[in-house]
Structure 1
């Protein structure tokens, strides 16, 4: 692929250029035939060699020079660029006037037994020459506008793709950072529980917990860094996590699931539930000595997937969303009229909450809701995400 095709990202650009001038020549031929018929004159087909064949053949050759001239000036300052191309249009028009006359004579000598017009006659100034020069200048400006527009379009497209690639890399880095931040805290608690079991000589329970911990870490670390996973995959990881936490809290924890079957194939961001469940333990269940309850529920509401995590115990976070009374404690994030950035994030504890909100903002912009309800006896965290089906289901 030549430099021109690489810059404009159009491998057949030169062919399209030749087709453009051919179509213009054909339109002029048709116009001339119609005009001759309207005036009752006989159309001279031999005259096509001099015009428009020589005329547009010259335009085509000059367009190749215009491409090269544009490539050499495309990075100049706008003022210099405009000045050079104004001069280029003048030179283009004059060179076309002379060049088309020379090419016309050469073609007539090659294909006709006798020239229709001598070179001197073709280069004689007459009133239509001025109009021809203006027409040539117009075609120069038209061609320049087309290639400049194509160049700007692909520059913006490349910039957009580059920004999207950087955004995806940032999302992946943020997800990886979330995994790194979550695992040490969880590992500390799990290993501490295993240590207490060994000291209490509960060896079978310790072995089971070690196996469960190993399975969960293996599953977490081996997962692909995809932007979305099915809710079934996400729930499998959460269940592995809860199996270990259930051993820690033993008889004083009840885990409830209310998972709608139609939600399992839907796609969600990876680790979207895990931080919420971990925060429920860290800031709610772990701070009470009473019997605790954790409930995870999913459902479809209209065109939204609803994910809910409820934990009994004290409130996990304080909210600062404007216009919200602490008794209701409802934080709405991701709506189209969000509070200022300084007010929209839950304050206090919880890397999981902050990272979850940041990731959802990047993935869904304004098309999601993150809500926290301080209810009697516990806290309910609710996520409302746009429905996103798996590719297979989307094409079914």
Structure 2
């Protein structure tokens, strides 16, 4: 990362308030000086004397504008009405000084002019000088308020991003306690039934799965291929519980293997399928995971041949709202909603002759596409 001193001047001017002020201030007074010097041609004045007057006018105006900036900073904490009145008084006073200095120098350099110093002449000088400094003050406050608005906007966006990240982390970390509770219950049952070898194998597989979960950043997306490897760790635990009663089928296209998805997106859905389709069936069943890329969307289908859902409306309400302690479907739906908003779909449907299919569609992005970009 470049240090502040190494950044290009243009970038500093575009991003840093102090550089923006100096750039605009110098540019503005230079432009004013150019038109004042140019007026020598239209008013048929001595060019050398007009340039000297211009240099004095620009220099004194620049110095007075720096004093105004310092003064505006000192009164910035005051209430808006008080700040406005103090600023107006400051502009009136600065204009009075600048007008007097300019007029005196101008007549000193142009002694042969017929027009002499007078109050009426001074008021003429004051009027257009006041307009210049009033415009300068208006531009200064406009930029100041604009920067404040941008800072507040950045704070709001940062706060929203932090809240979004916290929500996603909460949803992601919610999975481990839920899964851990179910697995420890299974281990406890195996121990009570004196199936110590199976219980020991389940503890070993559980440690592998938890190690992966702890090492994995919950905000970082993984490829579907990596997600499948993680599912294999989880299914290794469940296989010890159900043995031949649990059958798994994975059908994933080559393009889908590189698709990026939220980490541990599928694990709670498979856990849900095992709970409702496998555990409740004496003969077990099959869970199939199919994934492909269609129309620039990643389509994932998780199918089981369990009993399905007799009353879809009631079951959806219970499962999607997380009733009866369940978090699988509700958690997944909320994570997808937080990450993709309306760009995703999450559908459940009964299949014939029996079973349930969950279909997820999310925008396709992949590691291969990132490399190409």
Is the TM-score greater than 0.5?
yes
Tell me the equivalent position of 1:365. 341
Change (3 A) 1:174 1:365: same
What are the equivalent positions in structure 2 for 1:209-288 lying under 5 Å apart? Answer: 209-288=202-281
Tell me the equivalent position of 2:20. 16
How far apart, CA to CA, are the structure 2 residues paired with 1:168 and 1:253? 35
How far apart, CA to CA, are the structure 2 residues paired with 1:270 and 1:9? 41
Tell me whether 1:155 sits opposite 2:159 in the alignment: no
Tell me the equivalent position of 1:48. 51
What are the equivalent positions in structure 2 for 1:295-334 lying under 5 Å apart? Answer: 295-315=288-308, 319-320=312-313
Name the SS of the counterpart of 2:342 in structure 1. Answer: coil
What are the equivalent positions in structure 2 for 1:322-361 lying under 5 Å apart? Answer: 345=320, 348=323, 350-361=326-337
More moved, 304-313 vs 207-216: 207-216
How far apart, CA to CA, are the structure 1 residues paired with 2:318 and 2:81? 49
What are the equivalent positions in structure 2 for 1:28-47 lying under 5 Å apart? Answer: 28-32=32-36, 34-37=38-41, 39=42, 41-47=44-50
Tell me the equivalent position of 1:389. 366
Tell me the equivalent position of 2:124. 127
Change (3 A) 1:240 1:21: closer
How far the C-alpha of 1:183 sits from its partner, in A, is: 1.5
How far apart, CA to CA, are the structure 1 residues paired with 2:70 and 2:247? 74
Gaps of 5+ in 1: 2-7, 109-113, 321-325, 332-341
Question: Does the aligned pair in 2 maintain the 1:21–1:56 contact within 8 Å?
Answer: no
Tell me the equivalent position of 1:336. none
Change (3 A) 1:65 1:26: closer
Change (3 A) 1:391 1:23: farther
How far the C-alpha of 1:352 sits from its partner, in A, is: 1.2
1:149-192 Cα distance to aligned partner (Å, 9 max, x none):
11221221123123312321332233112222221112322453
How far the C-alpha of 1:47 sits from its partner, in A, is: 2.6
More moved, 16-25 vs 227-236: 16-25
Question: Does the aligned pair in 1 maintain the 2:348–2:359 contact within 8 Å?
Answer: yes
| Residue-pair matches, total | 356
How far the C-alpha of 1:369 sits from its partner, in A, is: 0.6
How far apart, CA to CA, are the structure 1 residues paired with 2:118 and 2:93? 13
1:202-226 Cα distance to aligned partner (Å, 9 max, x none):
x4x5554443333223223332333
Name the SS of the counterpart of 2:343 in structure 1. Answer: coil
How far apart, CA to CA, are the structure 1 residues paired with 2:329 and 2:273? 11
Higher helix share: 2
How far the C-alpha of 1:360 sits from its partner, in A, is: 1.4
Question: Does the aligned pair in 2 maintain the 1:260–1:298 contact within 8 Å?
Answer: yes
Name the SS of the counterpart of 2:122 in structure 1. Answer: coil
Name the SS of the counterpart of 1:388 in structure 2. Answer: coil
More moved, 96-105 vs 182-191: 96-105
Tell me the equivalent position of 1:85. 84
Within the candidate set 112, 119, 141, 1:144 is matched to: 141
Gaps of 5+ in 2: 5-11
Given the two structures, how large is their TM-score scaled by the length of structure 1? 0.77
Question: Does the aligned pair in 1 maintain the 2:347–2:359 contact within 8 Å?
Answer: yes
How far the C-alpha of 1:60 sits from its partner, in A, is: 3.1
Alpha-carbon RMSD across the aligned residues, in angstroms, is 3.6
1:21-68 Cα distance to aligned partner (Å, 9 max, x none):
33223323443455443x4724523333433x3334344334434444
Question: Does the aligned pair in 2 maintain the 1:229–1:270 contact within 8 Å?
Answer: yes
Change (3 A) 1:271 1:149: same
Question: Does the aligned pair in 2 maintain the 1:259–1:298 contact within 8 Å?
Answer: yes
How far apart, CA to CA, are the structure 2 residues paired with 1:346 and 1:9? 51
